Amino acid sequence: MKDVVIACVGKPSAGKSSFLNAVTDASAKVGNYPFTTIKPNNGIAYFPIECPCKRFGKTKLCAPRYGRCIEGKRFVPIQILDVAGLVPGASEGQGLGNQFLDDLRHANALIHVVDVSGTTDANGKETIGYDPIGDIEWLRSEIHSWIYGNLDKRWSQIVRRHIAIKASTAETMHTQLSGYGATLLLVQRSLDRSGVKESMDTWDKETVRKVVDAFLDERFPTVIALNKIDLPDSDKNISKIMRKYGQSKVVLTSALAETFLRKLAKQKFIVYDEGTDNVQTKEDLPDSDLKFLDEKLQNRIEKVQDLVLYRYGSTGVQDVILKAVEVLGLVPAFPVKSLTTFANANGKGVFRDCVLLWPGTTVLEFADIVHPEIAKHYLGAETIGNRKIGEDDIITLENNIICFKTSQATHSSVAGTASASGSGAGQGGPSKK
């Protein structure tokens, strides 16, 4: 079972590695020159959801296997991938070219990190006054060209085979696109989205482009992170980009500010409530074990507060992950062995496992994700109030606390073994993606 992976993409020096370091414990190399990153880096980020322990008065007993839960705010793990920068012409081999694009095959969603400060040009070199508004389009068009180019160079062969074996359009396109981690269902959804109904042998280049465009939307849902909002020119670029793209997929971030605040919190100079503008120092908490700040550090904190926290409400990095989870439509689900104690099979802890599911995952599919033995010996399932739910019922936020009944006692460690990071959703999983 593969975990959900969210990949940071963007031109060199946009701040992808800084973003990864800001949201995970990774320590990827950061540099103010293009192609600091060559090989992908990854790490686990924790994003907050409302934990059911609060609703059921179990906050004291709540014991997540992965991540943590603070008074009902549960931090769920998700994998973040940071790849090499992409430059215009990458699909034709410019920069690090296709090698970078290949790394995207593992990603479920993309975070496009844009340097909104205008201090780096299209190739990631230092400059001043660069207008980043075009970056959003060309990055997408590079990914488009990569996929389209691979189809175009073999198109006549693809169509000949399609006719010879009398395959459906979805089947043929699936054969061609499965290398990008697409299921048949996802390809079918892409075809529906494209509105293309003509038979494949009549498709011209424009039609293929249209299908690839729809495929990109389905396969790589993207959140745009306008990064470096702490720098002076960002303001005017932000309003321009917001006017063009709206607010639904755009988040304002300062990876630098987040890294700085987390580091100070780790070193016990401040208490920092991640995802908020709440920073407390020894002055605010005189009885705490916080260290005293010197004037220089105090000034730097105030600068981050003035330029980022008070202006935008937070550094934005956590919002980016939340938005990516939202665009993927992931549903957190909790397998429990008892609907009264909410403990798992070992009787250990409460709401121990939280599994992220693709939208449309059924109860039986969830059973299989928790453990194939549960699906094999499946008798039924119940949710809160001992309400029975059918094996084909779709899991939503209304029925996501589930107790499975099996015909045979499953191994004691079975319920809630899900997958390593606690994320069940994945392209390889039995889910609908």
Contact yes or no for 120/46 (Cβ under 8 A): no
Q: Measure Cα distances from 195 to 177, 182, 191, 214, 248 in Å.
A: 18, 19, 6, 9, 24
State CA 356 to chain mean position distance.
Answer: 11
Min CB(224)–ligand GTP separation in Å: 14
Q: For ligand GTP, which residue of 7, 30, 69, 363 counts as binding (CB under 6 A)?
A: 30
15 binds ligand GTP (CB under 6 A): yes
Written as six digits, the tokens of 285 are 């908490």
Among the listed ranges 37-45, 97-105, 224-232, 314-322, the one in contact with Mg ion (CB under 5 A) is 37-45
226 binds ligand GTP (CB under 6 A): no
Closest CB to ligand GTP among residues 128, 420: 128
Q: Measure Cα distances from 279 to 71, 81, 276, 419 in Å.
A: 19, 28, 8, 35
Among the listed ranges 28-36, 238-246, 261-269, 424-432, the one in contact with Mg ion (CB under 5 A) is 28-36
Q: What residues contact 192, with CB distance under 8 A and at least 6 apart?
A: none
Measured distance CA(95)–CA(135) in Å, rounded? 16
227 binds ligand GTP (CB under 6 A): yes
DSSP state of 274: T
Q: What is the 3-state secondary structure (H, E, C) of 324-351?
A: HHHHHCCEEEEECCCCCCCECCCCCCEC
254 binds ligand GTP (CB under 6 A): yes
Among the listed ranges 35-43, 128-136, 138-146, 355-363, the one in contact with ligand GTP (CB under 6 A) is 35-43
228 binds ligand GTP (CB under 6 A): yes
Q: For ligand GTP, which residue of 34, 40, 335, 349 counts as binding (CB under 6 A)?
A: 34
- Let me know how long the chain is: 433
**Which of 174, 105, 200 lies closest to 143 in space, CA to CA?**
105
41 binds ligand GTP (CB under 6 A): no
253 binds Mg ion (CB under 5 A): no
Q: For Mg ion, which residue of 21, 36, 194, 362 counts as binding (CB under 5 A)?
A: 36
81 binds ligand GTP (CB under 6 A): no
Find which of Mg ion, ligand GTP, none residue 245 binds, CB within 5 to 8 Å per kind: none
Contact yes or no for 430/424 (Cβ under 8 A): no
Binding residues for ligand GTP, rule: CB under 6 A, are 10, 12-18, 30-32, 34-37, 84-85, 124, 227-228, 230-231, 254-256
Binding residues for Mg ion, rule: CB under 5 A, are 16-17, 36-37
